[in-house]
Structure 1
Amino acid sequence: MKHNTAAVDELRPDYLGFIFYEKSPRNFDRESISDTRTSKRVGVFVDASIEFIIEKTKQFGFDVIQLHGEESDRYCWVLKDQLASEAVELWKVFSIKDTFDFKILQSYESVVDKYLFDTKGKEKGGNGYTFDWSVLKDYPSKKPFVLSGGIGLEEMDKVRALLQTDLPIYAIDVNSRFEVKPGLKDISALKKLNHELQR
């Protein structure tokens, strides 16, 4: 799969994500990540074995593990325990469409470092459209979360408005709306995004 990680890294995003999921068109199949200097590395996994995640974490030096499947709280505890020596953060993804039962978060509250809210769709991410952000007004936790799901330049006014609320939004995750094709990012569009977020 062709990608332009080095060019994206030059824009100094806080994080760069690498997807390890064979069903994804963005599945990362290289043996090394040699072209990231400034960004922290996020390994994205979907219902993978704990052994596989540990192997990839040690191979690529991930700073964050993002769990994008149906991983249970018990799974998270076991994974966190086995990654204790790696000083890796654990982010758990939850998909939202029009409603969400935030009670689901309770059993994850003491094990994951951050949540990520994505759009519920046919695919495990990369669906290209946003969920109803008004759902987040009922967010009951103080734990920081990442806003994801089909965010493009057209949403920047809404993003800025959301950032002015009391919600503990830690970061904005962009992907499919900033691609020329899966894995290959549109650098000029990402530069516009940087400009918009700094307004």
Structure 2
Amino acid sequence: MKFTENIQQVAALQPDYLGFIFYEKSKRNFEGIIPELPKNIKKTGVFVNEYIEIVVSLVEEYQLEAIQLHGEEFVEYIKELKSQLELSQELYQNENSKLGKKKAIEIIKVFSIKDHFDFEILNSYVDDVDYFLFDTKGDEKGGNGIHFNWQILKNYPFSKPFFLSGGIGLDDVEKLQEILNFNLPIYALDVNSKFEIEPGKKNIEALKKFKNNVIKNVVK
């Protein structure tokens, strides 16, 4: 998300998460003010190999509730990030004791897939992330608008829930029904470029239609 009015329009559709990209090389890079959102929508910051201090600072500035790591962040990076976030939360709690305890920041680690994927890579991450996200390997860090071969996910060996991403659009409801038959721990659908009017600006009517189609034909 990038534009204030469009953010509010999408928020009215009640997504579980709204993503804000903090990566200067992205055409969707977010700079500005996030309008007030319903409490049930998790503000999610998307980062690519960013300095931990900057991630923590932006989490504090925008009161982010989830972090999506879209680069080559190793487990050691994630452990240190979580440690710094916990320290930041403790300081916040001490200074704002009347506001109640804040929930831990969710960590979503992205892995890009094309024609094959070695799931053993995930072993070292399982205990330190809340979710994985699988999208399509392409020229850009996300938002390439193309699918990867979802059949590869049949080999997913973990119970750790994951986000399914990668060029999901209005024409994919039937394919989504098919992948649900794999009995995989799919936690969420991440949609982006197939619903854009321009980078960072979403087509509200298309999103409404997709949401209704998913609820009617996919969600059981």
Same fold (TM over 0.5): yes
Structure 1 residue runs of 5 or longer lacking an equivalent are none
Instruction: Tell me how far apart the structure 2 counterparts of residues 164 and 103 of structure 1 sit (CA, whole Å).
Output: 23
**2:199 matches 1:182:** yes
Structure 1 contact 128–151 (Cα < 8 Å) conserved = yes
- C-alpha contact (below 8 Å) 1:5/1:35 kept by paired residues: no
**Partner letter of residue 72 of structure 1?**
F
Task: State the match for 2:175 in structure 1.
Answer: 158
Q: Does 1:6 align with 2:8?
A: yes
TM-score, length basis structure 2? 0.87
Letter of the aligned partner of 1:114 in structure 2?
A: Y
Aligned 1:42-61 pairs, distance under 5 A? 42-61=44-63
Say which of 146, 155, 173 aligns to 1:129: 146
d(CA) in 2 for partners of 1:28, 1:119:
22
Q: Percent identity?
A: 53
Q: In the alignment, which of 213, 216, 219 is matched to residue 196 of structure 1? A: 213
Matches within 5 A, 1:76-91: 76-84=78-86, 85=89, 87-91=104-108
* Secondary structure of the structure 2 residue equivalent to 1:198: helix
Give the Cα separation in 2 of the matches to 1:67 and 1:108.
12
Tell me what 1:93 maps to: 110
Q: Which stretches of structure 1, 4 residues or longer, exceed 2 Å deviation after superposition?
A: none
Task: Give 2:94's aligned residue.
Answer: none
Rg larger in structure: 2
Amino acid at match of 1:162: I
1:198 deviates by: 0.9
1:24 alignment counterpart: 26
**CA RMSD for the aligned pairs?**
1.1
Unaligned runs of 5+ in 2: 90-101
TM-score by length of 1: 0.96
| Letter matched to residue 168 of structure 1 | P
Tell me the residue number matched to 2:157.
140
